[in-house]
Amino acid sequence: MSFKNVRVKIDELKTRAALIKNLQLSIGNVMEETWEEHVGPTPFPSVTSLREWDMKLLKRYKPYYLPFCELCCLCTFGKCDLSEGKRGACGIDMAAQQSRIVLLACCIGAATHIAHARHLVEHLIEKFGRSHPIDVGGVHVKLEAPITRLVCGVRPKTLGDLEGILDYLETQVTHLLSATHTGQEGNNLDFESKVFHAGMIDHVGLEIADIAQVAAYGFPKADPEAPLVDLGFGAIDINKPVIMCVGHNVVPTVGIVDYIKSNGLDGQVEVCGLCCTAHDTTRYYPKAKIVGPISWQIRFIRSGVPDVVILDEQCIRTDALNEAQRIKAPVIVTSDKNCMGLPNRTGDPPDTIVDDLITGKVPGVLILDPELVGEVAVRTAVKVAPLRKKFKTLPETSDVISGAKLCRKCNNCKRVCPQDLDIPEAMETAANGDLSLLADLYEFCIGCTRCEHVCPVELPIHSFIVKAGEKQLKAEIFKIRSGRGAIQDTEIRNVGSPIVLGEIPGILAAVGCANYAKGGREVAEICMEFANRRYIVVTSGCAAMSAAMYKNGEGKTPYEMFTGNFEAGCIVNVGSCVTNSHIAGAAIKIASIFAKRNLRANYEEIADYILNRVGAVGLAWGAMSQKAASIASGFWRLGIPVIVGPHGAKYRRMLMGRKDREEDWYVYDARTGERVYVGPTPEHLFYAAETKEEAMVMIAKLCMRPNDTTKGRAIKLTHYIDLHKRMYGKIPDDIHMFVRTKADIPITMKDEILKILEERGWKETRIPDPTLLPRLIRRRKEE
Amino acid sequence: MSLIAEPWQRAEVAGTKKALIINKPEIVAAMIKRAKRPILVVGHQVVETELSEGEKAIDRIIELAKTAEIPVVATAHIIKEFLNRGFNPSSHMSIMEIGSRLQAPDWTGLDGMGAYDLAIFVGIPYYMEWVILTGLKNFAQNLKTVSLDRFYQPHANWSFPNLPLQKWDEQLKLITNLLKEREEGTA
Ligand code: SF4
Ligand code: SF4
Ligand code: SF4
């Protein structure tokens, strides 16, 4: 069947009457006759279909604007100064402008994922055929595409089915992007609603991308025992030719691995990666290695270890070509998104391309055929490795010392360093032969090289830091469990009840980029803290790598210390950024598999379910990208709060609840229709924390949900209070807002808490069957 | 005193209106005195910043807060550090929470007695404070803001220029002394 035609028909129906009686039947017929589940109210939602739901969220979680720029320069009317109540020449005000920029970011993010998905699907159809089945977990995963089912109301069975869904996504992104044009949307809340839509669309794109690659490439299929693979600079075998792959789209790297395997070179060439391509490469080829998150790009190139550099798409250093040239490593760019000014050699015979790269006739080439990439990359690496002899640009210790002597203490470096690292001070001690202060910076340096561009004496500052931190760099040898993909239906069945009742205190998803304010170790520490507290901890993307970069006394990394099953006390790596869809998918599956809610095109009800019952929190501790913004907004619309790190403040808009406004925290009791106060659960939808300690307390707090049973709430409160006492040195002053009946009080803290409740004039309430949707109220008489 | 009134983080350039420079401690002392409803928001970096005599910035801020009798909000987790030093802040909140409250027209303060007219910030990571101040500048126009950090914050109403550590420490002490003098003077 083709979804393309379906959508047109649905749109026609919807324009005539939104909820006419026969609509469900009609859509059911055109969509899929064999699927019994009836179609919910919002199949293939348009930009405004879920606006009412969005406004409900935005009423409680008010946008808090933090302009990162007070000007607008988007059209030739500008620049316009929008500060202090002024409007731009087009009439826009500051609030709308900020939300417009957020929408722009989310459109960029969504477009990036959807284009990535489109490329994957097109390529995989060409290779495996349109009728290749979507199997992401065999008998363990019947619900293959929860987000797609929820949003679109269709269930894709084959690769070919994904095309029509992508058509829909691309249309939505175009509509959303158009709203940011001068003189379009003018209301900040409507912009925010569109932001949510962009996020939801983005999540479908993520899901399509991952289920396509899992199905076609045979990645681990929802496998809790996905192989443990190597991670870290020190894990790379420098005695072999090394191919370094950077980006997010695994297709060209698959070409490389296939070539290696089919030419008997297995074990002779080292394939390693950075960012999500690395994750996905290990899912295809567990012998591949992960160097680390995005911040390792420059240090790895400068180390001279890579013999060939392969760039695909997203989060690639745009100066990677220059850096690679300096270590004499040929570059192959492989994506139409990122051609780097290199000649397109896709039509040329491999021999000539390889020759040109080895002789240095060209510094790099563009090859758009992944199989050709495979052949050229491997053959070039094998031949170039003995020639370049790991030629590096990292300095020797003596170079660092003599260089540091030239430092003028001008502070330029410190003042452009996003981490405000005290480089001048470290240079001073380095000039005297002591590199320890420089080495101390290693952990916090995000490898941006901004410092180097402003140094009046042109010191390669980042290289100095890496050289000083060399011991640490070389000791980076860790294990990470390869991305397992989806969560099994059976796992959901097992944890559904304890999560919804609150007995598993929460799900923590540590996701996103590596723009950490104080190093990546904080991610590992947070993950372990919550796994030890028997939360379900899932990881993805660069955060999943950071979570691996820790060893306990026995030399075990977190993925070896904790189980890979989706259960209390786990640390589960789902995989690359596109596998964030499985995290959202797990929350959706709880509503469907455990609570038996109708999923199909039933977005609002499921989001309402998750907001009120599923204690999940996202932590994007180093969130940097526009993709991270759109991923976060997909979680917001589903009712899942997201915490970002300090740099996340620059996303310029938070969604903050007000626990001091009692009226904001009422829900309907679906049993009676009565409005019941449920306290600030969850208190915020999006916010940036200043420190790790603050984030940890907030994670525990944001896991509380109105539906928690008394037993569950007592468990959640125990963790919240315990962490609060440890980090803040005192008991929280808002406990009374989270205690509904005395049975909620953790027994061990009973006296202490009762006293506080009394002081605060606490009144007992009751636990409703919570919903924000009046239509879900079942009057008692009907029961 | 070096009076370079440019943002500490070079690329974080300001809009068309930039903070006035606190070039003498009297300015801050007078503003605190004059304010009917001042509030002091203190971030975690005061615990990380060592001052010359082995003291930390938090110690200096406690002296200032005690003298000024100004309500203190401790952000992040540093309430603990205050308590360890025997000082009990009026409240603790995340920087995003206190920032958004100060911006909310219906918020009546920690004590419910009405909106604040002066918010003083210190110890918040530079870029976080930068956007917090931009937010307040644009959405809480009746609130005056002061940055007491040692780096120029262009979107406050008043800010120190970029100052060396020692100079900054001196300035904080001077402000406290001025507040003391006045107190004694009025007593
Ligand atoms: S889009 Fe509006 S605010 Fe921006 S520059 Fe043009 S007229 Fe000015
Ligand atoms: S490369 Fe490292 S030290 Fe240099 S500016 Fe970036 S984060 Fe700071
Ligand atoms: S920019 Fe260069 S010269 Fe200036 S302080 Fe930094 S390292 Fe020294």
Q: What's the pLDDT tens digit per position in A413-455? A: 999 999 999 999 999 999 999 999 999 999 999 999 999 999 9
A438 in ligand 2 pocket by Cβ < 6 Å? no
Contact A688/B96, CB-based, under 8 Å?
Answer: yes
In a domain, A12, yes or no: yes
Residue A499's CB is within 10 A of a number of other CB atoms, namely: 27
Report the gap between the CA of B48 and the closest CA in chain A (Å): 12
CATH number of domain containing A593: 3.40.50.2030
In a domain, A648, yes or no: yes
Q: Give residue-wise pLDDT tens across range A368-378.
A: 999 999 999 99
Q: Give residue-wise pLDDT tens across range A551-591.
A: 999 999 999 999 999 999 999 999 999 999 999 999 999 99
Contact B96/A697, CB-based, under 8 Å?
Answer: no
Residues A275 and A411 in one domain: no
User: Which SS3 state, helix, strand or coil, does residue A570 take?
Assistant: strand
For A503-510, what is the mean pLDDT? Answer: 95
Q: Give residue-wise pLDDT tens across range A277-290.
A: 999 999 999 999 99
Contact A66/B132, CB-based, under 8 Å?
Answer: yes
User: Which SS3 state, helix, strand or coil, does residue A519 take?
Assistant: coil
Q: In the structure encoding, which two tokens stand for residue A624, read together?
A: 């940097």
Q: By the CB < 8 Å criterion, does B85 face chain A?
A: no
pLDDT at A30 over 70: no
pLDDT at A10 over 70: no
Q: In the structure encoding, which two tokens stand for residue A166, read together?
A: 């992508």
A463 half-sphere exposure, CB direction, 13 A CA radius: 22
Structural domain including A515 reads: 478-663+678-723
pLDDT at A755 over 60: yes
Q: Sort out which chain B residues have CB atoms less than 8 A from A729's CB and list them.
A: 79-80, 83-84
User: Among residues A512, A487, A489, A699, which one has the least CA distance to residue A574?
Assistant: A487
pLDDT at A524 over 50: yes
User: Among residues B148, B155, B110, which one has the least CA distance to residue B132?
Assistant: B155
In a domain, A472, yes or no: no
pLDDT at A480 over 70: yes
Q: Which CATH class is domain B20-186?
A: alpha beta
Q: Give residue-wise pLDDT tens across range A531-543.
A: 999 999 999 999 9
User: Among residues A146, A166, A117, which one has the least CA distance to residue A7?
Assistant: A166
Report the gap between the CA of B181 and the closest CA in chain A (Å): 34
Q: Give residue-wise pLDDT tens across range A306-328.
A: 999 999 999 999 999 999 999 99
Q: How far apart are CA B162 and CA B3, in angstroms?
A: 7
Of residues A551 and B2, more confidence is placed in A551
Ligand 2 atom 6, closest CA: A448
Q: In the structure encoding, which two tokens stand for residue A705, read together?
A: 């949900």
pLDDT at A19 over 60: no
pLDDT at A9 over 60: no
With DSSP H G I counted as helix, E B as strand and the rest as coil, what are the percentages for chain B, rounded to 5? 40, 15, 45
Phi/psi for A9 (5° steps) reads -65, -40
Given A166, A185, A217, the domain boundary residue is A217
User: Among residues A390, A395, A448, A439, which one has the least CA distance to residue A419?
Assistant: A448
pLDDT at A31: 58
Q: Which residues contact A359 (CB under 8 A, 6 or more apart)?
A: none
Contact B131/A83, CB-based, under 8 Å?
Answer: no
pLDDT at A1 over 90: no
Indicate left, alpha or beta for B112 from its phi (over 0: left) and psi (-120 to 50: alpha): left
Residues A209 and A290 in one domain: no
Q: In the structure encoding, which two tokens stand for residue A506, read together?
A: 């929460």
Residues in B 45-74 with any Cβ partner in A closer than 8 A: none
A421 in ligand 3 pocket by Cβ < 6 Å? no
For A492-501, what is the mean pLDDT? Answer: 91
Q: Which residues contact A425 (CB under 8 A, 6 or more apart)?
A: A437
pLDDT at A713: 96
CA B187 to chain CA centroid, Å, is 26
Contact A649/B101, CB-based, under 8 Å?
Answer: no
Pocket test for ligand 3, best of A459, A462, A464, A465 (most atoms within 8 A of CB): A459
Domain definitions of chain B by residue range:
20-186
Q: Give residue-wise pLDDT tens across range A674-719.
A: 999 999 999 999 999 999 999 999 999 999 999 999 999 999 999 9
Q: Report the Cα–Cα distance between both ends of chain B, in Å, rounded.
A: 33
Residues A503 and A591 in one domain: yes
User: Which SS3 state, helix, strand or coil, does residue A770 take?
Assistant: strand
Ligand 3 atom 4, closest CA: A410
pLDDT at A18: 43
Least confident of A29-38, A503-512, B163-172: A29-38
pLDDT at A257: 98
Q: How far apart are CA B79 and CA B56, in angstroms?
A: 15
**pLDDT over 90 percentage in chain A:** 94
In this structure, is the dihedral angle defined by the CA atoms of residues B150, B154, B156 and B157, taken in order, positive or negative? positive
Residues A124 and A269 in one domain: no
Of ligand 1's listed atoms, the one at least distance from the Cα of A73 is 5
A447 in ligand 2 pocket by Cβ < 6 Å? yes
Q: Give residue-wise pLDDT tens across range A206-250.
A: 999 999 999 999 999 999 999 999 999 999 999 999 999 999 999
Give the chain B residue whose CA is nearest to the CA of A84: B138
User: Among residues A202, A171, A169, which one has the least CA distance to residue A103?
Assistant: A202
pLDDT at A780: 55
pLDDT at A507 over 50: yes
Q: By the CB < 8 Å criterion, does B23 face chain A?
A: no
Given A197, A217, A237, the domain boundary residue is A217
Q: How far apart are CA A388 and CA A380, in angstroms?
A: 12
Q: How far apart are CA A159 and CA A163, in angstroms?
A: 8
pLDDT at A7 over 60: no
Q: How far apart are CA A597 and CA A608, in angstroms?
A: 11
Residues A59 and A81 in one domain: yes
pLDDT at A13 over 50: no
Residues A254 and A362 in one domain: yes
Q: Give residue-wise pLDDT tens across range A628-682.
A: 999 999 999 999 999 999 999 999 999 999 999 999 999 999 999 999 999 999 9
List A510's β-bridge partners, or say none.
A539, A619
pLDDT at B156: 97
pLDDT at B183: 65
Q: In the structure encoding, which two tokens stand for residue A416, read together?
A: 């452009």
In a domain, A90, yes or no: yes
Residues A365 and A449 in one domain: no
pLDDT at B186: 53
In a domain, A772, yes or no: no
B185 falls in which pLDDT band (50, 70, 90)? low
pLDDT at A379: 98
Helical spans, DSSP H, in A218-346: 251-262, 276-284, 297-302, 320-326
Residues A511 and A546 in one domain: yes
pLDDT at A107 over 70: yes
Residues A270 and A125 in one domain: no
Residue A218's CB is within 10 A of a number of other CB atoms, namely: 11
pLDDT at A4: 46
Count of the separate structural domains present in chain A: 4
Q: How far apart are CA A436 and CA A627, in angstroms?
A: 37
pLDDT at A782 over 60: no
A407 in ligand 3 pocket by Cβ < 6 Å? yes
What interface predicted TM-score (ipTM) does this complex get?
0.96
Least confident of A17-21, A233-237, A327-331, B163-167: A17-21
Residue-averaged pLDDT of chain A: 94
Helices A710-728, A692-702: crossing angle, 10 deg rounding: 170
Q: Sort out which chain A residues have CB atoms less than 8 A from B91's CB and list them.
A: 733
Residues A191 and A251 in one domain: no
pLDDT at A2 over 70: no
Contact between B70 and B109 (Cβ < 8 Å): no
Residue A349's CB is within 10 A of a number of other CB atoms, namely: 10
DSSP letters, A448-495, are --HHHHH-TT---HHHHHHHHTHHHHHT--EEEEPP--SPPHHHHHHH
Give the chain B residue whose CA is nearest to the CA of A684: B97
Q: How far apart are CA B22 and CA A66, in angstroms?
A: 24
Interface test with B, best of A66, A82, A516 (most B CBs within 10 A): A66
Given A162, A194, A217, the domain boundary residue is A217
Burial readout A182-195 (b: 16 or more C-beta within 10 A, e: otherwise): beebbebbbbbbbb
**Pocket-forming residues, ligand 1, beta carbon under 6 Å:** A 72-75, 77-78, 80, 88-90, 92, 182
pLDDT at A22: 41
Q: Which residues contact A277 (CB under 8 A, 6 or more apart)?
A: A245, A246, A247, A248, A249, A250, A253, A312, A576
